[in-house]
Structure 1
Amino acid sequence: MLGAIEAGGTKFVCAVSDNDLNNINKISIPTTTPEETFSKVFDFFDEYTLDAIGIGSFGPIDINPESDTYGYITSTPKTAWKHTDFIGAIKERYSIPVGWTTDVNAAALGELTKGAALENDSCLYLTVGTGIGGGAVVNGKVLEGFGHPEVGHILVRRHEKDTFEGFCPYHKDCLEGLAAGPAIEQRYNKKAQDLPEDSEAWDIEAYYLAQALVSYTLTLSPEKIILGGGVMKQKQLLPMIREKFAALLNDYVSTPDLEEYIVSPELGDDAGVTGCLLLALEEL
């Protein structure tokens, strides 16, 4: 039996499946303090006999097995979770193999194996919500090096009509600081879902996200880019991003047809937890 923890900044999604990834049970837990959240995670998993757990966590996280802080959440803006030994807490409780990566890497793996990138060997998954994070799979393997990608914090050119200073505590006006959900809310004093479809907010949002996708295309050349997260549930946004992407790239390099290249997740909100179950399976 496999366990999965998709640890997001707003909620933890915990799931249990058999080894064929057939879902047995799944719950959602608010992300509060580590002590309170882990207590509820343990209450859920204690009902099962697990062979392995896969974790996809918000970050930054330490993915270097040689590091003294491997398995930790490190310099996250969520102050209660800074320097939290995530894997240590799980292994102390269950003493089973643990797969470990970022939540967005897990989502990318899920979409590549079971979703929108099923016919591909590489993809990039970007979530646009409370923050902006991205994960990539290249030749069927999650992209990791000394650390993991933090593509939500790249620098972008400012939109000519945008005077918002940015909310990222580290960089102010990086991509996340200008285009994540809180940036929209602070800029207009309204949540994204409460803004009209013809608001200038969406032109600004599409401009920043299209810039980012051009950068990812030029550096990673993925076969598919998948855009998820709460902000991307605005149906008018995806066509605007494709249009601005084409204008910014200006035919410099070839890409697949943009209707097939820049797409929505096929697994919806299950992309991350599916990838976590796959991580657990790999550990076996």
Structure 2
Amino acid sequence: MYRWWDGLQRCYPDARTINQQAYKRLKAACAEAVRREAIAINPVDVRDAARRVETKEKYLPEDAELLGILGEVPARYRALTSLVLHHGLRIGEAIALELKDVTVEPLPAPWMPRVTVTVRQNAQRITDGGGNHMEVQPPKTRAGFREVPIMSVDVPYFLAHLGLYVPAVDTPLRLATGIRNARLFTATAQGKMVMDTSYRNVLGNAKERAGVSMDIDPHTGRNWLITRLAEQGAHLKEIGKLLGQDDVSTILDVYMKVRAGRTTSLMDRVSQSLGGDCNGRK
């Protein structure tokens, strides 16, 4: 067992979290074998493998950085970028979004129409003998099925996209069971499903032009939105419903961050509640 674990660490030194997950699943499988009396004892017991993996702290972007990216990304991918960076969709969820999943509800002038997207599926990059392709799959958990209201400040991106960039014909979508034709919300100029790797290149170029941190990636938007929602007083169940995340501990331990200067502003509010101003004067 130690030989297996040491080999795993040597072969995949940058995949410590995945290595530990593999160890935990193997240990659980052997525990079940013991319970069924298939083996006498559980041989999976490596102390180092059970230690908590220290992961790199995810970068929490400033609002201006995300707006800078949205201003530099090609117009065809602006609504997609809004979904990922401002609304917390996973990149595969945003890529797999279909036209029927986007609802526009007109409101009386001067109000902006209300836009809602319904997440029903995810696109996963699959590598096989024929190369790479995106395969459409259902969400991994029930929480993945959800409705996400689009912030009014981003609604113009969606209205412009609906008018200019929705493909004119259906796109063949690859599923585990075969092919299904559907009208995607976002597609390439050739009408094909966007590859996640291609979109990452688009996002990387936009980051360079905007002059923002290169640590921003498609997953960063989940950190930003969870933190912003918490600052607005949303409780964990509400945050989980919007993000499609039913594990509260993951929201707290992985995604939720503290913005620079936030603690200072909070203490200023406490001071004001006691009758003082921001400088401590009464």
**TM-score strictly above 0.5:** no
* Greater helix proportion: 2
* Greater strand proportion: 1
Structure 2 length normalisation: TM-score?
A: 0.24
Structure 1 length normalisation: TM-score?
A: 0.24
Task: Return the structure number with greater relative CO, CA threshold 8 A, min gap 6.
Answer: 1
